[in-house]
Amino acid sequence: MQLNDKVIVITGGGRGLGRAMALELADKGAKLALVDLDQEGLSETAGLCAEKGVEARTYECNVSVEGDVEKLFNDVVADFGTVNGLVNNAGITRDGLFLKVDRETGKVTKKMTLDQWQLVMDVNLTGTFLCGREAAAKMIDLGVEGCIINISSISRNGNMGQTNYTATKAGVQAMAVTWAKELSRYGIRAASIAPGYIGTEMVMSMKPEALDKIAAGIPAKRLGKPEEIASTVTFIMENDYINGRCIEVDGALRI
């Protein structure tokens, strides 16, 4: 898919990877529909895209609320006339051990709470489901070809302290495979990207000691750059034979 003048929706476009994706797609001449809860961040991203000479509109929306997501895609189509792409990028973590056990007594002292579980499910998994569904429905009704990318994670195979997050990131990868199987006949591709540790706000908010330890354990000996994920998004969007697969961008780290 040539990206010039195409309308691409990016969730979580207010900062981090979403902003880097917006800037990369703007360089390709795409029109951006930027979605986030954070209006200030959205405006900043939109301003940076506008400086590159493309149309960028902002949509304050919680991706986990069905009615809000339905309205979002109606608004995007009303504003731009179409929708050609979606990056399901909005995501959160609420890390914690599944069960915490006191070393001396051997007894369970803490459990991952249902709130911790449900919040991450709502944003990462339900949000991706809802946005993917509404984007694909619009593409089919409008008769346009399109591409949907779900942002998974290196954590999708299981990672300490991330029962909730890993379940969602395995889920969004699997959904991309399912959508490729179901939607290819309508000219819609779906794929996923599994980033390793990338230096965004989400990761940089970790303790410096923890960050140093992570970087030392990566064969590439550094964190990834947001632009390295953003260029993978444009690569998938532009290559019409990438479909149903997950591209790993992790500096060779295995966790």
Ligand X SMILES: NC(=O)c1ccc[n+]([C@@H]2O[C@H](COP(=O)([O-])OP(=O)(O)OC[C@H]3O[C@@H](n4cnc5c(N)ncnc54)[C@H](O)[C@@H]3O)[C@@H](O)[C@H]2O)c1
| 127's tokens | 């949000």
d(CA 171, CA 192): 11
d(CA 26, CA 7): 10
Report the sign of the C-alpha dihedral through residues 111, 113, 116, 119, in that order.
positive
Say whether residue 36 binds ligand X (CB under 6 A). Answer: yes
- Please report, as a single letter, which amino acid is at residue 162: Q
d(CA 220, CA 252): 7
Candidate list 92, 144, 177, 242; residue touching ligand X; CB under 6 A: 92
Q: Which 8-state DSSP code applies to residue 122?
A: I
What number of chain residues touch ligand X (CB under 6 A)? 30
Candidate list 45, 173, 200, 243; residue touching ligand X; CB under 6 A: 200
84-92, 105-113, 182-190, 207-215 -> range binding ligand X (CB under 6 A) = 84-92
Taking the complex as a whole, the smallest distance from the CB of residue 101 to ligand X amounts, in Å, to 27
| 157's tokens | 């195979």
| 137's tokens | 């429905």
Say whether residue 51 binds ligand X (CB under 6 A). Answer: no
**Which among 59, 165, 186, 241 is annotated as catalytic?**
165
Say whether residue 62 binds ligand X (CB under 6 A). Answer: yes
Q: Which residues are catalytic?
A: 165
The residue ranges that bind ligand X (CB under 6 A) are 11-12, 14-18, 35-38, 41, 62-64, 89-92, 123, 127, 151, 153, 195, 197-198, 200-203
